[in-house]
Amino acid sequence: MRPVRIAIFASGTGSNAMALVAKAQELSKEKIEIAFILSDKPAAPVLEKAKNAGVRTYLVEKKADRKAHEAEVLSLLHEYHVDWIFLAGYMRLLSADFIQHFRQWHEGAEQIVNIHPSLLPAYPGVDSIARAFSDSVKESGVTLHLVDEGMDTGRILVQEIVCRSQDSTLPAWTQQFHEVEHRLYSQFLENVALGRQPTVYFKETP
Ligand code: GRF
């Protein structure tokens, strides 16, 4: 049995991506392998961080033609026989065609996940923490969900509440979210690696 292969897609800072890398490096290489980290933004700090951690990176920049962009990404996924895609601050929606294509390689199993800093369906999209903060909510949270073609609309797998104390500042509260995100996402990666989360292999290779 070969290791489960994952690809991480990220457009920005990459703190979640690096938490996933750290967890994968802690686990056995026979169980899990990060095939690559892919970004659509040349200046994304995640690219440098990934290189420093010894992880292969790819940059596939936005193109006028979405289909051509996705075809390039699919060909990388195909080349590395990727089983799971972990979105970690990837600022592009995946098309229904892309998702369908990836699913076909896994006998219809949904193996694309995302982490989002709100209790979905509340506050989908960007600036979720800041919007919840300015609404003075007492609690928000983190959602780990499967990915469909919508904006943060896929089936929810895990949610955890992040409470807000009265004197909390936006930076302090944001930090609380990141800590929860990193823990939940790393735990999920471990579940995938250890077979606690069923995985249909894209292609068994020796
Ligand atoms: C995180 O808040 C994640 O939940 C959201 O985008 C942000 C990415 O942050 N999808 P980072 O680049 O992982 O630090």
- Encoding tokens for residue 170? 């936006």
**In the prediction, which pLDDT does 21 show?**
98
Torsion angle in degrees (nearest 10) through CA of 170, 155, 5, 98: -100
Q: Name the pTM for this structure.
A: 0.97
Q: Which amino acid is at 12?
A: G
Question: What is 4-194's CATH number, 2.60.40.1180, 3.40.50.170, 3.30.930.10, 3.30.230.80?
Answer: 3.40.50.170
Say if CB 75 and CB 1 are below 8 A apart: no
Known catalytic residue at 81: no
Describe the crossing of helices 96-104 and 66-79 by its angle, rounded to 10 degrees.
Answer: 20
Residue nearest (by alpha carbon) to ligand 1 atom 2: 117
**In the prediction, which pLDDT does 12 show?**
97
- Mean pLDDT (10-residue bins), the chain, 206 residues: 96 98 96 98 98 98 92 97 98 97 97 98 98 97 98 97 95 98 98 97 75
**In the prediction, which pLDDT does 205 show?**
63
Q: Distance between CA atoms of 72 and 36, rounded to whole angstroms?
A: 14
Alpha carbon separation from 72 to 54, 58, 63 (Å, rounded): 23, 11, 10
Q: Which atom of ligand 1 is nearest to the CA of 16?
A: 13
**In the prediction, which pLDDT does 64 show?**
87
Ligand 1 site-directed mutation target among 91, 114, 115, 152, most atoms within 8 Å of CB:
115
